[in-house]
Amino acid sequence: MMPVVDVFEEHRPMLLGLAYRLLGSMWDAEDVVQEAWLRWQGADRDGVREPRAFLVTVVSRLALDQLRSARVKREAYTGPWLPEPVLTSDAGPLDTAELRDTVAYATLHMMERLSPPERAVFVLREAFELPYGEIAEIVGLSVVNARQLHRRASVRLADGRDRFRPSSEEHAELLATFMRAAGDGDLAALTDLLHEDIVAYNDGGGRVRAALRPILGRGKVISFLSGLLSRFGYTDGRLVEANGLPALAARVGEHWQLVLIDVRDGRISEIYAVLNPDKLARVRLN
């Protein structure tokens, strides 16, 4: 029989990926997985037929409880709350398109719109392909309700998004073009790159000065970027891999930030600028 610690370590990357998708924070995900390890140590393993199913259930329920309390804290957060980005290499298994899509930064951000049960059902079904019967038992629902929540979450997350996503190479090229246009102050190029209905989010968390509300529309976003770059400029701009896709790491003034994007109709439709240093510790920008 495999030692207790080896069984858990075999599943740890998957469990971290699950908790991160549910919480949008790797700090919180690690706390959940650590608590799951303690429960695994104390479990009656003679009664555990499937360690993976047992651990997925424990992590999901712990994360669901934490997500319910986290929503209250996020409502009091200074400015827009954005998920904590992670390096792609730290995001856990990404063997399927569903695993990659559910860890994508835009998806994590949109999942904040879901209720905790909706988010749990969606992640367990989409990313981990659990049958509705198991999901219902984990979340504490009927099978019918689990199906309804999954359908509702899928519709809400699909609203306004392209059915066909750009490839990683296309995503990187769009970001690189954006980086050059911003660095050169090329307003015409920026206008061509940005979707008319673009939204820019800035998360400083009260630690770094940042816009306290989302910036809506191409004109306002260009004005914001132009003012920011003319005042501070940016240095050390480079592409990194975060949440399964290329992202832009740059230093604006004295502070590092990670810029992630979403794309619609071939143009940048959302910009997510994470400046809060607490959320950048794991992506190791400097």
Strands 255-264 and 267-274: antiparallel
Nearest to 19 by CA among 39, 36, 42: 36
The answer to whether 166 and 174 are in contact (CB under 8 A) is yes
For residue 137, what pLDDT is reported? 96
Mean pLDDT of the chain: 91
pLDDT tens digits, residue range 99-112? Answer: 999 999 999 999 99
For residue 2, what pLDDT is reported? 65
DSSP string, 224-286: HHHHHHHHH-EEEEEEEEETTEEEEEEEETTEEEEEEEEEETTEEEEEEEE--GGGTTTT---
The CATH 1.20.140.160 domain(s) of the chain lie at 4-157
Nearest to 254 by CA among 286, 282, 213: 286
> CA 237 to CA 216: how far, in whole Å?
24
pLDDT tens digits, residue range 229-267? Answer: 777 666 668 899 999 999 999 888 788 999 999 999 899
For residue 276, what pLDDT is reported? 96
- What CATH fold (topology level) applies to the domain 168-279? Nuclear Transport Factor 2; Chain: A, (3.10.450)
* pLDDT exceeds cutoff 60 at 123: yes
CA distances from 52 to 1, 14, 90 (A): 15, 10, 20
For residue 271, what pLDDT is reported? 97
For residue 90, what pLDDT is reported? 87
> CA 250 to CA 258: how far, in whole Å?
7
Strands (E), 70-142: none
For residue 163, what pLDDT is reported? 66
Given strand 194-203, what is the order of strands in its sheet?
215-216, 194-203, 267-274, 255-264, 245-252, 234-242
Rounded to whole angstroms, the maximal C-alpha distance in the chain is: 67
The CATH 3.10.450.50 domain(s) of the chain lie at 168-279
Q: What is the mean pLDDT of residues 153-170?
A: 83
Kindly indicate the confidence band of residue 43, based on its pLDDT and cuts at 50, 70 and 90: confident
Coil vs helix vs strand at 200: strand
The answer to whether 107 and 127 are in contact (CB under 8 A) is no
For residue 41, what pLDDT is reported? 87
Q: What is the mean pLDDT of residues 56-84?
A: 92
* pLDDT exceeds cutoff 90 at 97: no
> CA 174 to CA 159: how far, in whole Å?
23
Tokens describing residue 231? 């005042």
pLDDT tens digits, residue range 129-155? Answer: 999 999 999 999 999 999 999 999 999
pTM: 0.93
For residue 180, what pLDDT is reported? 87
For residue 183, what pLDDT is reported? 79
The answer to whether 242 and 227 are in contact (CB under 8 A) is no
> CA 49 to CA 51: how far, in whole Å?
6
User: What is 4-157's CATH superfamily?
Assistant: PhyR, sigma-like (SL) domain (1.20.140.160)
pLDDT tens digits, residue range 170-201? Answer: 999 999 999 888 878 888 999 999 999 999 99
For residue 149, what pLDDT is reported? 98
Region for 265 from its dihedrals, namely left if φ exceeds 0, alpha if ψ lies in -120 to 50, beta otherwise: left
The amino acid at 147: R
> CA 33 to CA 39: how far, in whole Å?
10
Of the given ranges (9-18, 77-86, 153-162, 219-228), which has the lowest mean pLDDT? Answer: 153-162
